[in-house]
Structure 1
């Protein structure tokens, strides 16, 4: 199957305007379009920055399926759209390999064809075939191009993190490898105190679509991933990683606009030079921004994670800058887990 890139990501939310506002005002996304009469019963806003396209959708009719989805799972990612050369062919191929139909192939004007299949939990995948520039003719009405944002530092979707139930990791990996033709490229186990999680990474043949799949160890003490699964009503997208060429500048700019990032203990930075030697960003800059760093055989990567702002605390963003690195920061997976545990403990203390 010729999956090339992530075409767009769609959020289902309680209030489209309320969700879109901080993405525009704090993250620097621009409003590119909004739903027209071709999408009855819903309010959808198209946002863009670099090569990233986000749809934010809320039900305006309580009988609309989006309303039921949000009622069960809360605000979060409901659909990840994958670009293909032939949407109808990809859809039929996916069904023949075990996927379940969500929406049959549909043409939107002469230049766009879509078709949807189910993914893990409540997540759906949409195949998108494009031969023109218009996003979804007859459904999303383009807006006049506005002034460029002064925060325009996010480029593409680097990877998507999926959280699945304990014991479902291998099954989910098989789904992506058998249905979509992805390859497993990485695996990791992290143990923190009495808790443990396992992760595997699958990637499209193009190398441009990547899913990091994480799962709690059911034999160990329940932790943050179990909290996610309970609050989300099952498996789903835990975070989206957005790439940038200047993570220190992006953290400073987004932080000044109100984005809150997870904090990292000073001891992490005290050990960087001992652990990795000299790195291409100064330790002082990393410490000032709470930015994580790791290295693999191919180069370095710098990462940071935002605090969750959705009501159920089930979704957050990651910013990532790669200097040749191809993997996902083995040491930083532990750092993220520990940071989320500190935030979880603080929230329990406040209750």
Structure 2
């Protein structure tokens, strides 16, 4: 199972399309509308976003936006056998929102079905029947290659239930878990991964009433997708490009890099560029060159809800075999947590627990 198209409900699909093109370097690939909804699609590499906004109160986007600020309403997954995936989900108790149907687009022919996810989230399951590989290429290299992971925030006390739900319904399995606590706040996280395709789906819950996870839940008015990681092969170059486009990132203090240098024996040739770009870095003990590099944007909408992560998983040669940085570095996770805490302080939303 891999990530497929991601659906955002937004206030104005065309305005959001232009933002993704200008700030994230995506390409506009399609636009349409019906009697109640305007829809635009944008892509970069193997990443595809669908942006929908309401034209009338009858739009599903209008219903969703009554309860939530703009954000992700549906996370799509590509499956090998949609009949089997839907049957297993239904047998495990999933609500089938849309039965299996065929959909013919310029990109090819697909089988689609939709199930209810956690909270107001839904999941579209996609099985390609015949993809159109002859679509013309623009000749311009994409900034991103694929969706690395998508992160769900749930209410306090719901983490174990959400983990169990994604295990039973979609076949995810628990991997790393994190308990992050500072002097100010705390969270708990469980990383989920799918054995067939490797889709990664971490789930967070607040572990203190003033946690940044709780701030998201309050602003989002319920559980939802907090952020998505877009993978790239050149994070320093991509971040330079995105900054030139006006995309704001979470700042990282210089002490972060001086402390890393004191702890690490290995530093890559482009270490200075990494530090100047304010990219977070983590190393694998058995393969130090297989670095995990990450940086996080400011929230992209008006409220402190959804943001993007840019990630590069470097490869190292160990005993004649290539090893790619995997998982989620604990040091980077804590650094992200502390960076968002600093933004909470600026907003005045981090108060004593």
Cα separation, 2, equivalents of 1:216 and 1:194: 12
Q: Which residue of 2 aligns with 1:139?
A: none
List structure 1 runs of 4+ shifted beyond 4 angstroms.
Answer: 144-150
Give the drift of 1:260.
0.7
Q: 284, 298, 322: which is aligned to 1:307?
A: 298
Aligned to 1:132: 130
Flag structure 1 segments of 5+ consecutive residues without an equivalent: 136-143
Secondary structure at 2:342 match in 1: helix
Deviation at 1:95, TM superposition (A): 1.2
RMSD of aligned Cα (Å): 2.1
Deviations 1:138-192 (A, max 9, x none): xxxxxx9584447x22110000111111111111111111111111111111001
Residue 108 of structure 1 and its aligned partner are, at CA, apart by: 1.8
What secondary structure, in the 3-state scheme, does the structure 2 residue paired with 1:206 have? Answer: coil
Local SS of the residue matching 1:327: coil
Asked if structure 2 preserves the Cα contact closer than 8 Å seen for 1:88 and 1:115, the reply is: no
Seen in structure 2, the aligned counterparts of structure 1 residues 221 and 85 have a Cα distance that, compared at 3 Å, is: closer
Residues in 2 aligned to 1:342 and 1:281: alpha-carbon distance in whole angstroms = 30
Cross-structure match for 1:15:
12
**Which of 245, 255, 270 is residue 282 of structure 1 equivalent to?**
270
Q: Which of 272, 275, 280 matches 2:260? A: 272
Of 156, 168, 171, the residue aligned with 2:158 is 168
Length, aligned pairs only: 334
Matches within 5 A, 1:185-196: 185-196=175-186
| Residue aligned with 1:271, SS | helix
**Equivalence for 1:113:** 111
1:282 and 1:32 map into 2 onto residues whose CA distance is 35
The secondary structure found in structure 1 opposite 2:86 is: helix
User: Which of the numbers 140, 165, 171 marks the counterpart of 1:181?
Assistant: 171
After superposition, the Cα gap between the structure-2 partners of 1:108 and 1:206, relative to the gap in structure 1 and judged at 3 Å, is same
Question: So what's the TM-score if we normalise by structure 1?
Answer: 0.90
- Shift of the 147–325 alpha-carbon distance from structure 1 to 2, 3 Å rule, reads closer
| More contact order relative to length (CA 8 Å, sep ≥ 6) | 1
Q: Which residue of 1 aligns with 2:329?
A: 329
Q: Indicate the SS of the match to 2:332.
A: helix
With the length of structure 2 as denominator, give the TM-score of the two structures: 0.89
Give the corresponding residue for 1:30. 27
Q: Which residue of 1 aligns with 2:317?
A: none
Partner of 1:53: 48
Give the equivalent residue in structure 2 for 1:318. Answer: 309
How many angstroms apart in 2 are the aligned matches of 1:315 and 1:149?
28
Name the structure 2 match of 1:141.
Answer: none
The Cα shift of 1:199 comes to 0.6
* Other structure's SS at 1:161 match: strand
- Secondary structure of the corresponding residue to residue 234 of structure 1: coil
Hey, what's the Cα distance between the residues in 2 that align with 1:320 and 1:47?
20
In the alignment, which of 62, 75, 80 is matched to residue 57 of structure 2?
62
How far 1:119 moved relative to its partner? 1.1
